[in-house]
Amino acid sequence: MPSTESSRILCVSVHDVAPQTWPLCERLLQAVRAVADIPLTLLVVPAYHHHPAADTAGYDRLLEQRLSVGDELALHGYTHLDEGSAPACWRDKFMRRVYTQGEGEFAALSAADARQRLAWGLEWFEHRKWPVHGFVAPAWLLGQGAWQALNDFAFQYTTTLSRFHFLAERQSLYSPSLVYSARSKWGSAMSRRGNTIWSGMLRNAPLARLGLHPRDAHHPQTIRHFQKTIEKLLVTRVAMTKTSFAQTWCAAANRDVQPHCDGMAAGEAKK
């Protein structure tokens, strides 16, 4: 395990892993593997869009295989659907209905509802005896209730679009995720261009994050782009799962080696 004293880190995650999306996820996994045999973090949704798989045993075996080769499975919501109360203002409406297309499950839940969904998710992992240390909210949207609920669980980390949060330490690190838009050809091309510029700007950042979504598998240019990005980042970085990064970083911070996390006071907005 490399130490953060000398290495910059790369975390690559695959979002929205579920039986329904698995064929696309598999294409992403193969595309990554074609350029680098690196550990990945798979963000798993136990009841994606309320449709549990017919053949859960087969799907479970596939995820077991990923665990056995060193990948991490993290909880990524329960249904991946925003079923919270109606948006109160135009900004919320835009974020929840248009920008995230109604998928920000934890954007507007009460603490009690968020707690319930986190508990269901953990039960799903427990039933399979699989380790789980991370929670990433769908669309990276965590409302106040979700932040409150997270305090009641032992997750080591969560991530938002721009930050990596070390939950037990109540610290966070500015670390924006590279992510591709795939809603239109134009959006997809723009996001590739943006990611090229962004990954250059983050050259000296301790952590680079790359988030892949099943929809990315539909775009050969996006696949080639993230393959090149991974190759380029690995020239100066070591890849690890998010849990490994959280553990390595916090161990180094505790030894006072690289304590560059920004402090986060209790109750402070964590966006």
Q: Closer CB to Zn ion, residue 138 or residue 145?
A: 138
Check binding of 96 to Zn ion (CB under 5 A). no
Q: Are strands 237-239 and 41-44 parallel, antiparallel or unpaired?
A: unpaired
Closest of 17, 209, 267, 265 to residue 130, by C-alpha: 17
Q: How far is CA 144 from CA 27, 78, 82, 91, 167, in A?
A: 35, 18, 15, 16, 15
Region of 82-90, 115-123, 131-139, 191-199 interacting with Zn ion (CB under 5 A): 131-139
Min separation Cβ 246 and Zn ion, Å: 20
Region of 12-20, 51-59, 63-71, 86-94 interacting with Zn ion (CB under 5 A): 12-20
Min separation Cβ 140 and Zn ion, Å: 8
CB 178 within 8 A of CB 187: no
Phi, psi at 103, each rounded to 5°? -110, 0
Count of residues near Zn ion by CB under 5 A: 3
Region of 16-24, 187-195, 224-232, 237-245 interacting with Zn ion (CB under 5 A): 16-24
Check binding of 138 to Zn ion (CB under 5 A). yes
Q: Closer CB to Zn ion, residue 138 or residue 206?
A: 138
Q: Closer CB to Zn ion, residue 15 or residue 117?
A: 15
Check binding of 134 to Zn ion (CB under 5 A). no
Check binding of 15 to Zn ion (CB under 5 A). yes
Tell me if residue 176 falls in helix, strand or coil: coil
Region of 5-13, 82-90, 133-141, 186-194 interacting with Zn ion (CB under 5 A): 133-141
Min separation Cβ 78 and Zn ion, Å: 12
What does the alpha-carbon distance between residue 105 and residue 114 come to, in Å, rounded to a whole number? 9
Percent helix / strand / coil, the chain, rounded to 5: 45, 15, 40
Q: Are strands 163-166 and 157-159 parallel, antiparallel or unpaired?
A: antiparallel
| Both tokens assigned to 84 | 């919270």
Region of 14-22, 26-34, 107-115, 150-158 interacting with Zn ion (CB under 5 A): 14-22
List the one residue from 9, 10, 13, 16 that touches Zn ion (CB under 5 A): 16
- CB half-sphere exposure, 124, CA atoms < 13 A: 22
Contacting residues toward Zn ion, per CB under 5 A: 15-16, 138
